Chains A and B, each alone.
Chain A
Amino acid sequence: MTDVLKPTDTKQVEEAVHWAVAHGKALELLGHGSKRALGRPAQTDMTLDLSGLTGVTLYEPAELVLSARAGTPLAEIEALLEKNNQQLDFEPMDYGPLLGNEAGQGTLGGAIATNLSGPRRLKAGAARDHFLGVTAVTGRAETIKSGGRVVKNVTGYDMCKVLAGSWGTLAAMTDITIKVLPRPETEATVIVEGLDDERACAAMSAAMGSSCDVSGAAHLPDHVASYFDGLPRPEAATVLRLEGVAPSVAHRKETLAALMKPFGPVALLDEAHSKVLWTSVRQAKPFAVSQERPLWRISTAPGQGYAVAAAITPAAQMFYDWAGGLIWVAMPFTNEPDAGSIRRAIAELGGHATLVRAPAALRASVDVFEPQSAGLRALSKRVKDGFDPRGVLNPGRMWAGV
Chain B
Amino acid sequence: MSVRMPEPDSAVLARREQIVKVLRTMVPGEGVIASEREMKPFETDGLTAYHQLPMVVVLPETTEQVSQVLAYCHAEGIKVVPRGAGTSLSGGALPLEDGVLLGMAKFNKIKDIDFANRIAVVEPGVTNLAVSNAVAHAGFYYAPDPSSQIACTIGGNVAENSGGVHCLKYGMTTNNVLGCEIVLITGEVLRLGGKHLDSEGYDLLGLVIGSEGLLGVVTEVTVRLLKKPETARAVLVGFPSSEDAGACVSAIIGAGIIPGGMEMMDRPAIQAAEAFVHAGYPLDVEALLIVELDGPAAEVDHLIARVEQIANENRAVSCKVSASEQERLLFWAGRKAAFPAVGRISPDYYCMDGTIPRAQLPLVLKRMKELSTKYGLAVANVFHAGDGNLHPLILYDSNKPGELDRAENFGSDILRLCVEVGGVLTGEHGVGVEKRDLMPVMFSEIDLNAQQRVKCAFDAKGLLNPGKVFPQLHRCAELGRMHISGGKLPFPDIPRF
| B117 touching A154, Cβ below 8 Å | no
With contact pairs A155-B426, A351-B196, A389-B482 given, residues A3 and B497 touching in the complex (Cβ less than 8 Å): yes
| A386 touching B196, Cβ below 8 Å | no
Rounded to whole Å, the gap between the CB of A132 and the closest CB of chain B is: 10
For A122, give the chain B residue with the smallest CB separation: B197
A108 CA to B355 CA, complexed, in Å: 25
Binary contact track B143-187/A, C-beta < 8 Å → 1, others 0: 000000000000000001101000110011011000000001000
Give the residues from 181 to 215 in chain A that come closer than 8 angstroms, CB to CB, to chain B. 181-185, 202, 205, 208-211, 213
Give the residues from 190 to 208 in chain B that come closer than 8 angstroms, CB to CB, to chain A. 190-192, 194-207
Residues of A within 8 A of B429 (CB): 154
Residues of B within 8 A of A213 (CB): 295
Rounded to whole Å, the gap between the CB of A299 and the closest CB of chain B is: 5
Residues of B within 8 A of A4 (CB): 496-497
For A4, give the chain B residue with the smallest CB separation: B497
Query: Out of B230, B357, B439, which one reaches A63, CB within 8 Å?
Result: B357
| A299 touching B428, Cβ below 8 Å | no
Give the residues from 402 to 454 in chain B that come closer than 8 angstroms, CB to CB, to chain A. 422-431, 435, 439, 442-444, 446-448, 450-451, 453-454
| B230 touching A211, Cβ below 8 Å | yes
Residues of B within 8 A of A245 (CB): 299, 302-303
| B457 touching A244, Cβ below 8 Å | no
Query: Out of A22, A148, A156, A162, which one reaches B485, CB within 8 Å?
Result: A22
| B253 touching A62, Cβ below 8 Å | yes
Confirm or deny: A153 has a beta carbon within 8 angstroms of a beta carbon on chain B.
Answer: yes
| A157 touching B211, Cβ below 8 Å | yes
Residues of A within 8 A of B491 (CB): 5, 12, 15-16, 19
For B254, give the chain A residue with the smallest CB separation: A62
Residues of A within 8 A of B203 (CB): 115, 128, 161-162, 164-166
| A370 touching B426, Cβ below 8 Å | no
| Interface-lining segment among B103-111, B322-330, B341-349, B383-391 | B383-391
Confirm or deny: B93 has a beta carbon within 8 angstroms of a beta carbon on chain A.
Answer: no
Pick the most buried of A4, A126, A138, A151: most chain B CB atoms within 10 A of its CB: A151
Pick the most buried of A5, A140, A145, A166: most chain B CB atoms within 10 A of its CB: A140
| B359 touching A60, Cβ below 8 Å | yes
Residues of B within 8 A of A22 (CB): 484-487
Confirm or deny: B29 has a beta carbon within 8 angstroms of a beta carbon on chain A.
Answer: no
Give the residues from 9 to 45 in chain A that come closer than 8 angstroms, CB to CB, to chain B. 12, 15-16, 18-19, 21-23
| A386 touching B457, Cβ below 8 Å | yes
| B450 touching A151, Cβ below 8 Å | no
Rounded to whole Å, the gap between the CB of B63 and the closest CB of chain A is: 14
Give the residues from 151 to 173 in chain A that come closer than 8 angstroms, CB to CB, to chain B. 151-162, 164-166, 170
Residues of A within 8 A of B256 (CB): 85, 182-185
| B493 touching A12, Cβ below 8 Å | yes
Confirm or deny: B188 has a beta carbon within 8 angstroms of a beta carbon on chain A.
Answer: yes
Query: Out of A155, A202, A380, A386, which one reaches B453, CB within 8 Å?
Result: A386
| B422 touching A149, Cβ below 8 Å | yes
With contact pairs A3-B496, A211-B230 given, residues A151 and B388 touching in the complex (Cβ less than 8 Å): yes
A387 CA to B207 CA, complexed, in Å: 14
For A3, give the chain B residue with the smallest CB separation: B496
For B179, give the chain A residue with the smallest CB separation: A350
A380 CA to B199 CA, complexed, in Å: 13
Residues of B within 8 A of A211 (CB): 139, 227-230, 295-296
For B247, give the chain A residue with the smallest CB separation: A62
Rounded to whole Å, the gap between the CB of A175 and the closest CB of chain B is: 14
Rounded to whole Å, the gap between the CB of A390 and the closest CB of chain B is: 7
For A89, give the chain B residue with the smallest CB separation: B258
A384 CA to B207 CA, complexed, in Å: 13
A22 CA to B488 CA, complexed, in Å: 8
Residue count of chain B within 8 Å CB distance of chain A: 111
Confirm or deny: B130 has a beta carbon within 8 angstroms of a beta carbon on chain A.
Answer: no
With contact pairs A12-B491, A350-B196, A390-B482 given, residues A157 and B207 touching in the complex (Cβ less than 8 Å): yes
For B449, give the chain A residue with the smallest CB separation: A142
Confirm or deny: A280 has a beta carbon within 8 angstroms of a beta carbon on chain B.
Answer: no
A253 CA to B484 CA, complexed, in Å: 61
| B450 touching A387, Cβ below 8 Å | yes
Confirm or deny: B13 has a beta carbon within 8 angstroms of a beta carbon on chain A.
Answer: no
A5 CA to B384 CA, complexed, in Å: 45
A382 CA to B459 CA, complexed, in Å: 11
Binary contact track A238-269/B, C-beta < 8 Å → 1, others 0: 00000011011011100100000000000000
For B214, give the chain A residue with the smallest CB separation: A157
Confirm or deny: B57 has a beta carbon within 8 angstroms of a beta carbon on chain A.
Answer: no
Give the residues from 346 to 401 in chain B that come closer than 8 angstroms, CB to CB, to chain A. 355-359, 384, 387-389
Residues of B within 8 A of A125 (CB): 171, 175
A69 CA to B455 CA, complexed, in Å: 28
| A379 touching B388, Cβ below 8 Å | no
| B116 touching A205, Cβ below 8 Å | yes
With contact pairs A154-B160, A248-B295, A398-B201 given, residues A21 and B487 touching in the complex (Cβ less than 8 Å): yes
Residues of A within 8 A of B230 (CB): 211
Rounded to whole Å, the gap between the CB of B210 and the closest CB of chain A is: 5
| A150 touching B387, Cβ below 8 Å | yes
Residues of A within 8 A of B428 (CB): 152, 154
Residues of B within 8 A of A277 (CB): none
Query: Out of B119, B206, B389, which one reaches A158, CB within 8 Å?
Result: B206
Residues of A within 8 A of B444 (CB): 145
Residues of B within 8 A of A369 (CB): 200-201
| Interface-lining segment among A92-100, A224-232, A300-308 | A300-308
Residues of A within 8 A of B475 (CB): none
| A156 touching B198, Cβ below 8 Å | no
| B450 touching A144, Cβ below 8 Å | yes
Confirm or deny: B17 has a beta carbon within 8 angstroms of a beta carbon on chain A.
Answer: no
Rounded to whole Å, the gap between the CB of B421 and the closest CB of chain A is: 10
| B204 touching A63, Cβ below 8 Å | no
Query: Out of B175, B191, B303, B450, which one reaches A159, CB within 8 Å?
Result: B450
Rounded to whole Å, the gap between the CB of A305 and the closest CB of chain B is: 10
A375 CA to B188 CA, complexed, in Å: 8
A357 CA to B116 CA, complexed, in Å: 31
Residues of A within 8 A of B249 (CB): 62
Confirm or deny: B14 has a beta carbon within 8 angstroms of a beta carbon on chain A.
Answer: no
With contact pairs A128-B206, A247-B299 given, residues A351 and B457 touching in the complex (Cβ less than 8 Å): no
With contact pairs A129-B171, A248-B302 given, residues A303 and B210 touching in the complex (Cβ less than 8 Å): no
For A300, give the chain B residue with the smallest CB separation: B196
With contact pairs A22-B486, A156-B431, A161-B206 given, residues A322 and B117 touching in the complex (Cβ less than 8 Å): no
| A21 touching B443, Cβ below 8 Å | no
Question: Can you report 19 A-B residue pairs in the complex whose CB atoms are below 8 A from each other?
Answer: A19-B491, A23-B489, A128-B206, A146-B450, A155-B424, A157-B207, A157-B454, A158-B161, A158-B206, A162-B204, A182-B253, A205-B118, A250-B298, A251-B296, A325-B197, A350-B195, A351-B195, A382-B457, A386-B450
List residues of A whose CB falls within 8 A of some B CB: 3-8, 12, 15-16, 18-19, 21-23, 49, 52, 60-65, 85, 115, 117, 121-122, 125-126, 128-129, 138, 140-146, 148-162, 164-166, 170, 181-185, 202, 205, 208-211, 213, 244-245, 247-248, 250-252, 255, 299-304, 322, 325-326, 350-352, 354, 369-370, 372-373, 375-376, 379-380, 382-387, 389-390, 398-399
Q: Assuming A63-B359, A148-B442, A248-B302, what are 13 further A-B pairs, CB within 8 angstroms?
A: A4-B496, A18-B487, A141-B484, A150-B357, A151-B168, A211-B295, A302-B196, A325-B197, A350-B196, A352-B199, A369-B200, A376-B190, A384-B202
